[in-house]
Every structure is written in structure tokens, then in C-alpha cells.
Amino acid sequence: MLVALGIMLAVLSVRDSHGHRHAGRFDPKGFEALFEADHADVVARASAYLRETDGLQWPSVGALDPNTAMRGVSQILDRPTLKALAKDHTREEIEAFADAGAPLVAWRVAYFRPFEYARDTEAVRVTVDRTGRVTAADRGNYKPAGTRDLPSEAWVSQARIDAAAALRIDAERLQPLDKDALPPGARRLGYSDGLWRVDGLELGGFSVVVGAWTYGSSIGFQTRVLELRGPGDEAPTSWGSEAWVAAVLTVVMAMMLGAWTRDPDPPPTNPDALLVPGFALGVAMALGQIGLMLTSRHGYHPGVMGVFIVVAIVLGTAGLVFARARRRGDLEPPSPGIAIALVALAVAAFIASCWLCGGPFARGCCERCGILRCTAAPLIIAALVLARTRPRFAGDAMVLSVVMLTPHCICDNLVNHHWMAAIGTSPMCFFLFYGTTLTALAGLRGVFSKLTLTLGVLALVVTGVLAYTHHTYHFPW
């Protein structure tokens, strides 16, 4: 029963993940001109913009020198909008729309210094399109102790003038826009202190929207192409939160009922058998991440590559050990103290995964991320607690863990960037939690003594991620 419910949760997640009618991959054939840009010219334009702009300075030391800071260049591609426009408009119309200021394809230049970036996520980013127009710029500096004061009307008015100058348009064309007109996917623009629509720049129901914000030591503006909602328009169709609530309550009740009933002797099926393909899936995803990094034209971080190589080895070893012990019938549940430690390791991996996300701890980077955190993850922990003495809950934890891997993450970091470039969203947000849960399940089901070294390495990885996130975000102290 719980296996079917886990599959239902996965279907719900995938349905919400791809519920927008414009979702899917975009075929760039015929639109090669949109992607033509010299990276050296892009960097030169971004650096020139920084020299012209006094506001974008290092929060810690003041004036930013683009020549001494480290930098990286990444392409920003609005796939859903391009796909929607390509259905009803010619290539010439789309190219003219982009050249007039619609940021369908642009290049983001990020300037940073390694120590300050790791400590305070301090960075300055400038986004430039193929015409040299600056479509977005922001200065990031994470200060959790900083207060959020609403800016004055004078600041908003000046931000409007500055954004118009960067976009090379008259400030009068930036018309005020109500946040209720934004579609659900425009999360960051919804936090803007000033929000405007570029008058006279529309194509096929899509408009160009500009938002500016300031909080603490962070400041910036962003331009996006959005399909705005009218006063009577409804949100894009999805199954909504009601289906999620009903599914989760059903799973909870089923788990409670299962905890109060006795296991049949002998059991009709062995839920431990699900762990072996679960480990195979984990290894495949780790190798997929490695493959995407090696084939990416943007390069990769050697440290991240090393972590995924270690994780692939750990999961592969754990899977082989568990399969061998299960075939021999050499399974012995660990002591209560060891079981608590294994569950605690899975909880630590979940916390580390949440801290690595770019959104708030409970809400996540998007709606689906928050739903998974508040529904599937607690059920997985509960199933782990019960799995030591009740084998069927090992299968429940395994199925629900797979739900956490449905592609949904939109945090553009060193891991997700390669998946987002390939499929639009990333399944790796909770991959550390998934791998740790599987290995903890194997230990709970009776192979802890054979996985001591493997679990030790995994614990070091989790501890390292926790240490990095604490060093970056200074939470909880």
C-alpha cells in the first residue's frame, strides 16, 4: 500500500514540476544568432558597467576592481519563453524582440573573491545580452543579522532611472506594475522594492518586467520576460496543495496503522530487496553528475567532482555489501544506540541539504522544494526509526526517498547548474539525504558491522557539508 502511495507522491511531484504549459526543452536549431556572443566582449562590457556604477562595490572593502577579482561567465537561457514564442512567431520576430531588450539569452559575469565568497557569499554579478545591454546586476552579501528596512521612494525612483540607463531605454517607459500580475514562477521579482513593466516591449502576450531591490548589503535589479496575469486570470493549472495534503495524510495514517499491526510470518515480499536497486540508482545519479560536469563547456569545481567520486564509491560499496549479506542471510539488526546514530546521520544529511539550498530553510527554493521538506522528509525519518524492527518500513523509506529525487530544484549552484542546463531543473537538491538514508537503512537492516568504514566516510562528507554551510550562513550561531 505504501509503495503505491509513494509512487503517487512521485507523480504529484513530477506533475507540479512540469505543470506549466510552457515547460520542456527548447530546440535551438534556427536560432543560432541568439547565442552568438564573444565572452571577452561580454566580460569587457560587464567590467565597464562596474566602473561606471558606484553602487556595485565590495561590501567589505569598497571599490571593486574587475581586473583583480576572480570571475566566471555562464549563459542564461529562458527556455520556457523561447519555446512558447517559437510556436507562434518567426525567428526574425523573436530576434528583434531580444535585440529590443528582452533577455531571452544573456551571459552572467560573476566577480568574487574566494574567501569572502565562502564566508559571506559575497559576489557581484552583471548580466549582459548579445547587444551589450546590461539586463541585470546585483551585489550579494549575506548578513543574517542585518535588518530589512523598506527603501525610501527616492531610492525606488533612482533605481528606476539606473535600470533604464542600463537597459538603454527612457525611464518613462518603465511603468509601475502590481505584484499580483506576476506569475507563480517569478519568485525573486516578487520580493522587489520597485517593479515595472517596459512599455511597448511585448510579443505574443509576453512582457519585459524589471524589478529592483535592496536589503542589508545586497542591492540589484533584474529583467525577465514574463506572461503577466490579468485581474481575472487564474494561476497555471496544477493539482494544488489539497492533493499533497490528502496524499501525505493518507501516508501518515497508513504508517500509523502499519506500526500497530504485526508483520506476517513469513512476509509475502521482502522490502529489503528494494535497497539494492536503490543503491544502483544512487550510483547512476552520481556518475551522471560526474558525466555532466566533465562534458560541460562551463567547466567544473574539482572539489565538487571529488565529493561525487567519493559518494559514488561509498554507495556502490554499500550496495554490494548489503546485497552479499542479504544473499547469505547474514543480517543482524544493530543495537538501539547504533540505530539512533544512523537515524541522526540521516537527519544531519537532510539539514545539510536544506542549508545548501538557496531558499529559506522551511520553504525552500520553490514550492515543490518546500512541500518535499515538510512532507516526504519527515515520513522518511519516521520510516527509518521503524525499519530497524519492522522490515516493511525499509521499503517505505526507500520509495519515499526516491520521491525526493524528482527534478525540482532551481538553485543555480556548482552542482545543479549542469542539470539545469540539460533539463531545466535539478534532481540533486536532496541527493546527499537520499544516499545517506539508503546507507543508514542498510545499517539498520543488519549490515552495520560490515559498513563501518563506509558509514564513517559518509559521515565525514555530511560533516564537511554541514561545516561549509555553517561557515557560509553562520547558522544557528
Per-residue pLDDT tens listing for the chain (477 residues):
455 555 555 555 555 444 444 444 556 677 777 777 777 888 888 888 877 776 555 445 455 566 656 666 777 888 778 888 888 888 899 989 998 889 988 888 877 665 555 555 667 888 999 888 999 888 776 554 444 567 788 888 988 998 898 899 999 999 999 888 888 767 668 778 899 999 999 998 899 999 988 866 667 888 999 988 766 555 554 445 545 565 566 566 666 656 555 555 555 456 677 888 999 999 999 999 999 888 876 567 788 888 899 889 989 988 888 888 888 877 777 888 888 888 999 999 898 888 777 655 666 666 677 778 877 888 888 888 888 777 778 888 888 888 888 888 877 677 877 787 777 788 998 998 999 998 888 888 877 777 777 778 888 888 887 776 654 554 554
Q: How far apart are CA 378 and CA 230, in angstroms?
A: 38
pLDDT at 1: 47
Same domain assignment for residues 92 and 166: yes
Same-domain pairing of 436 and 317: yes
27 inside domain: no
> How many residues belong to the chain?
477
Q: What are phi and psi of 104, to 5 degrees?
A: -75, -40
Final residue of a structural domain among 191, 226, 261: 226
Q: For residue 42, tell me if it sits in a domain.
A: yes
Residue ending a domain, among 226, 257, 287, is 226
* Same-domain pairing of 95 and 166: yes
The whole-number pLDDT of residue 22 equals 43
- Phi, psi of 34, deg, nearest 5: -65, -25
Torsion of CA 243, 248, 251, 252, to 10 degrees: -140
Q: Is residue 196 part of a domain?
A: yes
Q: What angle do CA 103, 106, 107 make, to 5 degrees?
A: 150
Q: 222 and 251: one domain? A: no
Show Cβ contacts of residue 76 under 8 Å, excluding neighbours closer than 6 positions: 103, 105, 106, 107, 108, 127
CB 314 within 8 A of CB 443: no
Q: Are residues 203 and 269 in the same domain?
A: no
Distance (Å, rounded) from C-alpha 179 to C-alpha 189? 8
Do both 441 and 315 map to the same domain? yes
Distance CA 100, CA 82 (A): 15
Asked if the structure places residue 247 within a domain, the reply is yes
- What integer pLDDT is reported at residue 24 of this predicted model? 47
Q: Which three cell numbers stand for residue 190?
A: 516578487
- Measured distance CA(95)–CA(129) in Å, rounded: 12
Q: Is residue 48 part of a domain?
A: yes
Q: For residue 233, is it within any domain? A: no
CA distance linking residue 376 with residue 9, whole number of Å: 8
* Alpha carbon of residue 298 to chain centroid: 18
State residue 287 phi and psi, 5-degree precision.
Answer: -65, -35
Is 7 found in the same domain as 70? no
DSSP bridge pairs for 219? 139, 214
- Do 383 and 461 reside in the same domain of the chain? yes
CA 350 – CA 344 distance, rounded (Å): 10
How confident is the model at residue 260, as a pLDDT?
58
Question: Are 210 and 198 spatial neighbours (Cβ–Cβ below 8 Å)?
Answer: yes
Q: What total number of domains does the chain contain?
A: 2
| Confidence at residue 172, expressed as pLDDT on a 0 to 100 scale | 93
Q: What is the pTM of this model?
A: 0.58
| Structural domain that includes position 310 | 2-18+240-473
Q: Is residue 312 part of a domain?
A: yes
* Residues 375 and 312 reside in one and the same domain: yes
Residues 189 and 296 in one domain: no
